[in-house]
Amino acid sequence: MQSEEGAMAMLCMWKNQPSRSRLLLQRTKEYKLKHKFQKDEVNMLKDGEHSIRLTLSFLHCSALSVFAHRFYRLGFNSYFFFFYSEALKTRSKMGKEKVHINIVVIGHVDSGKSTTTGHLIYKLGGIDKRVIERFEKEAAEMNKRSFKYAWVLDKLKAERERGITIDIALWKFETTKYYCTVIDAPGHRDFIKNMITGTSQADCAVLIIDSTTGGFEAGISKDGQTREHALLAFTLGVKQMICCCNKMDATTPKYSKARYDEIVKEVSSYLKKVGYNPDKIPFVPISGFEGDNMIERSTNLDWYKGPTLLEALDQIQEPKRPTDKPLRLPLQDVYKIGGIGTVPVGRVETGVLKPGTVVTFGPTGLTTEVKSVEMHHEALSEALPGDNVGFNVKNVAVKDLKRGYVASDSKNDPAKGTESFTSQVIIMNHPGQIGNGYAPVLDCHTSHIAVKFAELLTKIDRRSGKELEKEPKFLKNGDAGMVKMIPTKPMVVETFSEYPPLGRFAVRDMRQTVAVGVIKNVDKKEPSGAKVTKAAAKKGAK
């Protein structure tokens, strides 16, 4: 893509409207002169490699980016969707070369999560060099040069929170074997909610441990986040882990093997209780700030013979994507696109979506045929788990579909609404007591619905699952229990064992995550008066 004018013209030729092409070209030039585009925005268009970082395509967006919104205001209506997805073509091609894996970075406060993650993104990521140079200059001006890796992360956080085009795709870095996406940023205020309901399930957790005197002890203490995050990661199905013994440059003495051995012994013991096999977990001594054992082997740690952090990431077992399970695709958004029709978008969690598939949307039971499936404006013969896609459905109005609905194969365990469900819940950040009748918001896949805690069935040991008390009067911070829940509105959930992404959830109250859980059993209800489109009926009759 040579320029934004060329891109717009190309889109219009795709529509086979040469006169409109010339008009848009002229209006784009006029707009540039009037508003003086920022250099970065134009450069991102000129350079396909950088344009992959613009992630708010119509295939997976919660808001229009600043850039797309400017074109939208010019009256280009649906054209901006295609323009934006053209800019992302490079990304989809890039994605075919290596396997994508999703990383979640966890650990106690001040353990060095931001510095370590920032270092990886800084050294291995695809951040535009100009952006890095700008951040470095700002860090120097504010006398924060020594924090440059964390500074990069902080600046990216700030830009993401301002809602501009950087978004989460910049949290990427590349190893020899994988494209790694950090699915949540350390320090994000909704860290746990996003860890559970994020667009991707984490394939591996990177546990950052503060190796300094006092720092390690605080993290591994009863109230420390080292324990809490490790337990959460295992509970939520993140079965692979890498442990980083960080701040080895600040141990006493520096780069102490004795301190490393002490930490490995204690953390291994705890991880074994949680459910992990410590023998399969690499413990990498690092300095996220100095760079020891991050990318290259450090002479300061020549007593250590294991992998560097980069090598440990390459040793992650390639995740098996659940293509053999029935289709489940929670809807992120629904669009009406001129000349095309209704286009639901979302991420395939399990199964395969193909053109011609007759899909049923839970919880309403609406059934129709899929006309086409696209990713980044490229037609797909099939969409697999992990793919963020848009798909055109026949004879369905936009108002008939909503965020949180789930697309499924009408002939293979179609998704249904939920009467009630039983969950194993861990209370983790609630100031009081939770009893029968409590009705917070439940975040499960793309659905956000108030759910009533109808009945506290048992109080259990949060690690072993052993029953401690029948029908407890309440659950408080740190407790775990089995709870019967009833949604206040139509909702689709599944058991964690069958469909993990639709079977884990966060409980939100008072603007924070107060509990997490996994669904053990679901009482489903049959839809009444479900609409079946003519296309679906015709297809079913064949």
How many Å apart are CA 424 and CA 235, to the nearest integer?
10
pLDDT exceeds 90 at position 365:
yes
Give the closest residue to 368 by CA, choosing from 393, 390, 344, 343. Answer: 393
Which whole-number Å values give the CA distances from 160 to 155, 259, 422, 497, in the listed order?
9, 38, 36, 34
Concatenated DSSP letters of 127-138:
--HHHHHHHHHH
pLDDT exceeds 70 at position 189:
no
Angle, CA of 185, 259 and 230, to the nearest 5°: 35
How many Å apart are CA 408 and CA 349, to the nearest integer?
11
Do 129 and 202 lie in a common domain?
Answer: yes
The verdict on residue 493 lying in a domain is yes
The verdict on residue 209 lying in a domain is yes
Do 208 and 254 lie in a common domain?
Answer: yes
The verdict on residue 216 lying in a domain is yes
Question: The tokens of 40 are what?
Answer: 């970065």
Per-residue model confidence (pLDDT) at position 206: 93
Q: Which residues make Cβ contacts (< 8 Å) with residue 359, sequence separation at least 6?
A: 327, 353, 367, 368, 369, 370, 393, 407, 408, 409, 410
Question: The tokens of 438 are what?
Answer: 């409590």
Q: 3-state DSSP call for residue 146?
A: helix
Domain with 335 in it:
329-415+531-541
Q: What is the pLDDT of residues 306-350, one digit of tens each?
A: 999 999 999 999 888 788 899 999 998 899 888 889 999 988 999
Contact predicate 179/95, CB 8 Å: yes
Do 214 and 306 lie in a common domain?
Answer: yes
How many Å apart are CA 451 and CA 382, to the nearest integer?
35
Regarding predicted confidence, which is higher, 130 or 64?
Answer: 130
41 exposure class (CB count in 10 Å sphere: 0-12, 13-18, 19+): middle
To the nearest whole number, what is the mean pLDDT of the chain?
Answer: 77
Contact predicate 485/453, CB 8 Å: yes
Do 155 and 19 lie in a common domain?
Answer: no
Do 59 and 185 lie in a common domain?
Answer: no
Do 424 and 410 lie in a common domain?
Answer: no
Whole-number percent of the chain with pLDDT over 90: 40
Tell me, yes or no, if the pTM score tops 0.75: no
The verdict on residue 141 lying in a domain is yes
- Per-residue confidence band for 296, with pLDDT thresholds at 50, 70 and 90: very high
Report the sign of the C-alpha dihedral through residues 427, 223, 312, 186, in that order: positive
- Per-residue confidence band for 195, with pLDDT thresholds at 50, 70 and 90: low
The verdict on residue 86 lying in a domain is yes
pLDDT exceeds 70 at position 183:
no
Contact predicate 493/519, CB 8 Å: yes
Do 152 and 248 lie in a common domain?
Answer: yes
How many Å apart are CA 488 and CA 452, to the nearest integer?
7
How many helices and strands (H and E) does the chain possess?
16, 22
pLDDT exceeds 80 at position 486:
yes
SS (H, E, C) 197-245: HCCCCCCEEEEEEECCCCHHHHHHCCCCHHHHHHHHHHHCCCCEEEEEE
Contact predicate 429/189, CB 8 Å: no
Q: What is the pLDDT of residues 395-416, one digit of tens each?
A: 899 999 999 999 999 999 999 9
Per-residue model confidence (pLDDT) at position 130: 75
Q: At 20, which helix (H) or strand (E)?
A: helix 18-35
Per-residue model confidence (pLDDT) at position 22: 45
Count of Cβ atoms closer than 10 Å to residue 231 Cβ: 21
Contact predicate 185/120, CB 8 Å: no
Q: What share of the chain is helix, strand, coil (3-state, %, to 5)?
A: 35, 25, 40
101 exposure class (CB count in 10 Å sphere: 0-12, 13-18, 19+): buried
Q: How many domains does the chain have?
A: 4
Q: For tokens 């459910």, name the residue.
A: 275
Q: For tokens 């053999």, name the residue.
A: 324
Give the closest residue to 288 by CA, choosing from 267, 309, 303. Answer: 309
Per-residue model confidence (pLDDT) at position 369: 95
φ, ψ of residue 534 to 5 degrees: the values are -60, -40
- Per-residue confidence band for 185, with pLDDT thresholds at 50, 70 and 90: low
- Per-residue confidence band for 465, with pLDDT thresholds at 50, 70 and 90: confident
Last-in-domain residue among 59, 76, 94: 94
Question: The tokens of 142 are what?
Answer: 């504010």
The verdict on residue 334 lying in a domain is yes
Do 107 and 229 lie in a common domain?
Answer: yes
The verdict on residue 489 lying in a domain is yes
pLDDT exceeds 90 at position 248:
yes
Do 232 and 277 lie in a common domain?
Answer: yes
Do 163 and 299 lie in a common domain?
Answer: yes
Q: What is the pLDDT of residues 495-530, one digit of tens each?
A: 999 998 899 888 888 877 788 899 999 999 888 778
- Per-residue confidence band for 377, with pLDDT thresholds at 50, 70 and 90: confident
What is the C-alpha R_g of the chain? Answer: 25
Identity of the amino acid at 146: S
Which whole-number Å values give the CA distances from 379 to 25, 147, 352, 392, in the listed order?
27, 45, 15, 11
How many Å apart are CA 150 and CA 156, to the nearest integer?
10
Report the sign of the C-alpha dihedral through residues 377, 380, 385, 390, in that order: positive
The CATH number of whichever domain residue 374 belongs to comes to: 2.40.30.10
- Per-residue confidence band for 48, with pLDDT thresholds at 50, 70 and 90: very low
Give the closest residue to 542 by CA, choosing from 298, 338, 356, 344. Answer: 356
Identity of the amino acid at 409: D
The verdict on residue 236 lying in a domain is yes
The CATH number of whichever domain residue 293 belongs to comes to: 3.40.50.300
Q: What is the pLDDT of residues 31-43, one digit of tens each?
A: 444 444 333 333 3
Give the closest residue to 537 by CA, choosing from 351, 358, 276, 347. Answer: 358
Give the closest residue to 312 by CA, choosing from 298, 330, 293. Answer: 293
φ, ψ of residue 167 to 5 degrees: the values are 55, -165
Q: For 233-245, b where at least 16 C-beta lie within 10 A, e where not — what string?
A: bbbbbbbbbbbbb
Q: 3-state DSSP call for residue 437?
A: coil
Q: 3-state DSSP call for residue 100?
A: strand
Do 272 and 300 lie in a common domain?
Answer: yes
Last-in-domain residue among 283, 314, 345: 314
Q: What is the distance, to the nearest Å, from the Cα of residue 353 to the centroid of all Cα atoms in its chain? A: 20
Asked if omega into 326 is within 30° of 0 (cis), the reply is no
- Secondary structure E strands in 67-224: 99-107, 172-174, 178-184, 204-210
Do 143 and 233 lie in a common domain?
Answer: yes
Last-in-domain residue among 264, 289, 314: 314
Per-residue model confidence (pLDDT) at position 146: 53
How many Å apart are CA 131 and CA 261, to the nearest integer?
40
